[in-house]
Amino acid sequence: MDALAYDLTGPPDAPVLVLGGSLGTTRAMWQPQLDALTTGFRVLRYDHLGHGESPVPPGPYRIEELGRHVLRLLDQLDLARVRYAGLSLRGMVGMWLAAHHPERVDRLGLLCTSAYLPPAEGWLLRARTVRAEGTASVADAVVARWFTPRFAERQPKVVQRLKATFGTLPAEGYAGCCEAIAALDLRPVLPRITAPTLVIAGADDPATPPAHGQAIADAVPGARIDVLPGAAHLASVERPDAVNDLLLEHFA
């Protein structure tokens, strides 16, 4: 099992905050958070299995496999207990970690994510398409769901940069992660999460609408939810100041 690619930024004696990004992105998507979060945290960003500079084993992947890779990275860095914030697929990984390995997760942030995201056939079709035609073949449709039309019009360079990154992702890695989401159902384990949990949803997110975040907040004991207006799926990119404030408040 090869280790995930990562970088670690911030004061060496500060508490560690892990940032895991969306399906179809690399750890660079968290750039808008770095200046704010590295004032008080040592920020660990990682590339998911099959993404960026991380290994690309043949799929299908499963959520527990993705979670075990994160645990191995934490062990490699001698990090016994961390704060964890995950968006989209990495939020799903965060829920798995907090439910199955509560001793490793001190506090949990879940952004624009879901515990259950049917229909499975849609994810399996996307996996087949990407394996046959490459990630660039679905880039327009996927990235259109990441941002509101207003943001895309105002910040076209940001959108194009993330779209270009998406188009270079290994087809097998992306497809394997799609298959992990197709098989996902974390709803039964949500009540087992004991880490203080913040859920952030984008009011205009078509990929994981606020109702999905509300379902998580209702099931995790003591969790709270904030719904950000003017944000679609990559809320950390579209509304960085608001997301940074929420994360700082929660993880401090």
Domain contains 1: no
The whole model's pTM is what? 0.96
User: 153 pLDDT exceeds 80?
Assistant: yes
Q: How far is CA 232 from CA 68, 192, 207, 237, in A?
A: 29, 29, 8, 10
Do residues 200 and 173 make contact, with C-beta atoms less than 8 angstroms apart? no
Give tens-digit pLDDT for 22-38.
999 999 999 999 999 99
The pLDDT assigned to 231 comes to 98
Domain contains 215: yes
Largest CA distance in the chain: 47
The pLDDT assigned to 1 comes to 52
**Residue entry with tokens 């911030």:** 10
The pLDDT assigned to 73 comes to 97
The closest of 202, 204, 199 to 216, measured between CA atoms, is 199
Radius of gyration of the chain (CA): 16
User: 129 pLDDT exceeds 80?
Assistant: yes
Domain contains 239: yes
Looking up residue 45, the CATH number of its domain turns out to be: 3.40.50.1820
Mean per-residue pLDDT, 14-19: 98
Query: How many percent of the chain have pLDDT more than 90?
Result: 98
Mean pLDDT of the chain: 97
User: 100 pLDDT exceeds 90?
Assistant: yes
Mean per-residue pLDDT, 223-242: 98
Domain that holds residue 96: 6-251
The pLDDT assigned to 237 comes to 98
d(CA 200, CA 243) in angstroms, rounded, equals 8
Backbone dihedral angles phi then psi of residue 224, each to the nearest 5 degrees: -125, 160
Mean per-residue pLDDT, 138-150: 96
Number of domains, the chain: 1
Give tens-digit pLDDT for 209-223.
999 999 999 999 999
The pLDDT assigned to 2 comes to 73
Give tens-digit pLDDT for 181-231.
999 999 999 999 999 999 999 999 999 999 999 999 999 999 999 999 999
